[in-house]
Amino acid sequence: MSRNDSLISIIVPVYNVEQYLSRCVDSLVNQTYHNIEIILVDDGSPDRSGEICDEYAKKDKRVKVIHQSNGGLSDARNTALDIAKGDYLMFVDSDDWIEKKTCEILNRLASDYKADTVIFGLNFVFDSGKVIRSKRGMAGLTDKNMCMKYLIHNVARGGIFNYACNKMFSSHLFEGLRFPVGRLAEDQDVIYKLIHRSQRIYVTEQPLYNYYQRDGSITAAQYYPRLIRDRHELWLKRLDFIREYYPDLENYQIAQILGAAYVGIVKLEGNKQNGELKKKLICFSNKYILKEKELSVLDRKIKLHYYCYPLFWLYVKLFIK
């Protein structure tokens, strides 16, 4: 397949973002690489988002619009996956935007290195105007074993490998695989499976995606108990997968879950409505931390991983958010 033949499908779930949508879609239709299809899924938006999508479809034949009843982010993505025709797939959130040459660069890297998955850097853009560039600590051609280790052990860099938005996937990786509907942290249930299916992975630290941290986003406080629950359950599911396919990474995965559980316990302090969730997190922590036998398995690096995880999120809360 020649470089110019590769069709890239860009999937954009749209819900109640009329204020930001044009910035997002403009960044897509103005790509220097033109062989793309843009799938906008209006997920029952109560504002003018659906109308804005239709306006873009009238002006650019590469834009396809689907209107559906509200089903959530995963449902909207899955709807688009069912009709996407691209050789490669990208996911863009409707309040974010990509750099002008993003598709051109990603297509070149995928072609040059015959990569199933290309992972790239992000700019975290805050309402205050602050921009933080992601850093990863690895770059170049790699394989699923190394990438899986970074997926689990990448805490100090904010776990960006768990995002769908900073990756371009070969479409064949999604055969028989879809995002879980009705869950927060949905990426956490899919990304590791896609990495596992990838034979060749290319990583670049170039920040090709702008991740907008707006007020009222899914990370807002009112969603946090549900986010804690869903992420914990998804990571337990991933732990079973790691035990089967990557047993040497089991303790790293346990350490990551422990760190997140610790943060969850702190966040839920005094929250009587979520007492059962807090109890579940404490039980998991006790199972691995209070038993000397289990604790002795963790080497110094994994222990550091565990204790640094809550410190990282404390830093985010105090100095970034």
- Give the tens place of pLDDT for each residue, 106-129: 999 999 999 999 999 999 999 888
Average pLDDT score over residue span 135-141: 80
CA angle at 164 for the pair 158 and 166, rounded to the nearest 5°: 70
Inter-CA distances, 228 with 74, 102, 279, Å: 18, 32, 13
Average pLDDT score over residue span 181-186: 86
Encode pLDDT of 288-309 as tens digits.
655 544 444 455 545 555 555 5
- pLDDT at 52 (0 to 100): 99
Q: Which of 63-72, 149-158, 244-253, 256-265 has the lowest mean pLDDT?
A: 149-158
- pLDDT at 270 (0 to 100): 67
- pLDDT at 29 (0 to 100): 99
Encode pLDDT of 37-80 as tens digits.
999 999 999 999 999 999 999 999 999 999 999 999 999 999 99
pLDDT score of 3 more than 90: no
pLDDT score of 6 more than 80: yes
More confident position, 168 or 310: 168
Please state the three-class secondary structure of the chain as a single string. CCHHHCCEEEEEEECCCCCCHHHHHHHHHCCCCCCEEEEEEEECCCCCHHHHHHHHHHHCCCEEEEEECCCCHHHHHHHHHHHCCCCEEEECCCCCEECCCHHHHHHHHHHHHCCCEEEEEEEEEECCCCEEECCCCCCEEECHHHHHHHHHHCHHHCCHHHCCCCEEEEHHHHCCCCCCCCCCCHHHHCHHHHHHHCCCEEEEEEEEEEEEECCCCCCCHHHHHHHHHHHHHHHHHHHHHHHHHCHHHHHHHHHHHHHHHHHHHHHCCCCHHHHHHHHHHHHHHHHHHCCHHHHHHCCHHHHHHHHHHHHHHHHHHHHHC
- Can you tell me which residue has the tokens 């689990």? 152
Average pLDDT score over residue span 91-117: 98
Q: Which of 54-63, 114-123, 214-223, 245-254 has the lowest mean pLDDT?
A: 214-223
Cβ atoms 95, 17 nearer than 8 A: yes
Average pLDDT score over residue span 236-244: 93
Cβ atoms 4, 35 nearer than 8 A: yes
Whole-model pTM: value is: 0.85
Average pLDDT score over residue span 9-29: 98
Of the ranges 18-27, 131-140, 271-280, which is most confident? 18-27
- pLDDT at 295 (0 to 100): 46
- pLDDT at 311 (0 to 100): 56
Q: How much of the chain exceeds pLDDT 90, in percent? A: 56
- pLDDT at 284 (0 to 100): 74
- pLDDT at 321 (0 to 100): 41
pLDDT score of 206 more than 90: yes
Q: Which of 163-172, 224-233, 271-280 has the lowest mean pLDDT?
A: 271-280
- pLDDT at 231 (0 to 100): 84
Calculate the average pLDDT of the chain. Answer: 85
- What is the band of 185 on the pLDDT scale with cuts at 50, 70, 90? confident
